[in-house]
Amino acid sequence: MNLPSNDWSCWALISICCLFWRVSGSNPAMNSRPNIVLFMADDLGIGDLGCYGNNTMSTPNIDRLAREGVKLTQHLAAASMCSPSRAAFLTGRYPIRSGMSSSFNMNRAILWLGGSGGLPTNETTFAKMLQQRGYRTGLIGKWHQGLSCASRNDHCYHPLNHGFDYFFGMPFTLLNECQATKTPEIHRALRIKLWISSVALGLVPLLLLIPRFAGWFKVPWTVVIITALVAFLFFTTWYSSYGFIRRWNCILMRNHEIIQQPMKEEKVTSLILKEALSFIEKYKHGPFLLFVSFLHVHIPLVTKEKFVGRSKYGLYGDNVEEMDWMVGKILDVIDKEYLRNNTLVYFTSDHGGRLESQEGKSQLGGWNGMYKGGKGMGGWEGGIRVPGIFRWPMILPAGGVINDPTSLMDIYPTLSYVAGAILPLDRVIDGKNLMPLLQGRVFQSGHEFLFHYCGIYLHTVRWHQKDCDTVWKAHYVTPKFQPEEGRACYWSGLCPCSGDVNYHDPPLLFDISRDPSEEHLLTPENEGLFDAVIKKMEEAVKEHRRTLMPVPQQFSVFNTIWKPWLQPCCGTFPFCGCDKEDDTLPTGL
Q: Among candidates 494, 574, 579, which has minimal Cα distance to 243?
A: 574
Q: Does pLDDT of 2 surpass 60?
A: no
CA–CA separation, 562 and 553 (whole Å): 16
Average pLDDT over residues 206-212: 76
Residues paired with residue 257 on neighbouring β-strands, in sequence order: 254
Q: Among candidates 462, 545, 453, 540, which has minimal Cα distance to 498?
A: 453
Give the pLDDT confidence of 22-66 residue by residue, as tens digits: 333 344 444 579 999 999 999 999 999 999 999 999 999 999 999
The reported pLDDT for the residue numbered 114 is 95
| 225: confidence class by pLDDT, cuts 50, 70, 90 | confident
Q: Does pLDDT of 307 surpass 80?
A: yes
| 587: confidence class by pLDDT, cuts 50, 70, 90 | low
Long-range pairs, 301-310, Cβ under 8 A, ≥24 = 301/364, 302/174, 302/178, 302/179, 302/265, 302/266, 302/268, 302/269, 303/269, 304/266, 304/269, 304/270, 310/58
Q: Does pLDDT of 353 surpass 80?
A: yes
CA–CA separation, 480 and 502 (whole Å): 6
Catalytic residue among 82, 495, 497, 569: 82
Average pLDDT over residues 532-547: 98
Query: Concatenated DSSP letters for 117-149?
Result: --S-TTS--HHHHHHTTT-EEEEEEE--S---S
Among 127-141, 239-253, 531-545, 570-584, name the one with the lowest average pLDDT.
239-253
Average pLDDT over residues 559-588: 86
Give the pLDDT confidence of 469-514 residue by residue, as tens digits: 999 999 999 999 999 888 899 988 899 999 999 999 999 999 999 9
Average pLDDT over residues 441-467: 96
| 151: confidence class by pLDDT, cuts 50, 70, 90 | very high
Among 166-170, 181-185, 326-330, 550-554, name the one with the lowest average pLDDT.
181-185
CA–CA separation, 492 and 501 (whole Å): 13
Q: Among candidates 336, 347, 289, 335, which has minimal Cα distance to 33?
A: 289
Q: Are strands 288-293 and 70-76 parallel, antiparallel or unpaired?
A: unpaired
The reported pLDDT for the residue numbered 286 is 86
Q: Is the dihedral of CA 257, 263, 267, 273 positive or negative?
A: positive
> What are the DSSP E strand ranges found in 251-360?
252-254, 257-261, 288-293, 343-349, 358-359
| 540: confidence class by pLDDT, cuts 50, 70, 90 | very high
Q: Is 454 helix (H, G, I), strand (E, B) or coil?
A: strand
Higher-pLDDT residue of 81 and 18 is: 81
The reported pLDDT for the residue numbered 585 is 64
452 assigned to active site: no
The reported pLDDT for the residue numbered 5 is 45
Q: Does pLDDT of 4 surpass 50?
A: no
Q: Among candidates 391, 412, 319, which has minimal Cα distance to 86?
A: 412
The reported pLDDT for the residue numbered 222 is 84
Q: How far is CA 166 from CA 139, 171, 244, in A?
A: 6, 13, 28
Residues paired with residue 254 on neighbouring β-strands, in sequence order: 168, 257
| 1: confidence class by pLDDT, cuts 50, 70, 90 | very low
Catalytic residue among 10, 51, 75, 144: 144
Q: Is 528 helix (H, G, I), strand (E, B) or coil?
A: coil
The reported pLDDT for the residue numbered 281 is 98
Give the pLDDT confidence of 77-129 residue by residue, as tens digits: 999 999 999 999 999 999 999 999 999 888 899 999 999 999 999 999 999 99
- Burial label for 180, CB within 10 Å (0-12, 13-18, 19+), is exposed
Among 178-187, 220-229, 429-438, name the one with the lowest average pLDDT.
178-187
| 226: confidence class by pLDDT, cuts 50, 70, 90 | confident
The reported pLDDT for the residue numbered 92 is 99
82 assigned to active site: yes
Average pLDDT over residues 377-388: 98
Per cent of the chain over pLDDT 70 is 89
The reported pLDDT for the residue numbered 295 is 98
Q: Among candidates 126, 410, 405, 144, which has minimal Cα distance to 291?
A: 126
DSSP state of 307: G
- Burial label for 213, CB within 10 Å (0-12, 13-18, 19+), is exposed
CA–CA separation, 59 and 323 (whole Å): 9
- Burial label for 137, CB within 10 Å (0-12, 13-18, 19+), is buried
| 268: confidence class by pLDDT, cuts 50, 70, 90 | very high
Give the pLDDT confidence of 38-49 residue by residue, as tens digits: 999 999 999 999
Mean pLDDT rounded to a whole number for the chain: 90
Q: Is the dihedral of CA 25, 30, 31, 35 positive or negative?
A: positive
Helix or strand (DSSP H, E) at 210: helix 188-214
Q: Is the pTM of this model over 0.85?
A: yes
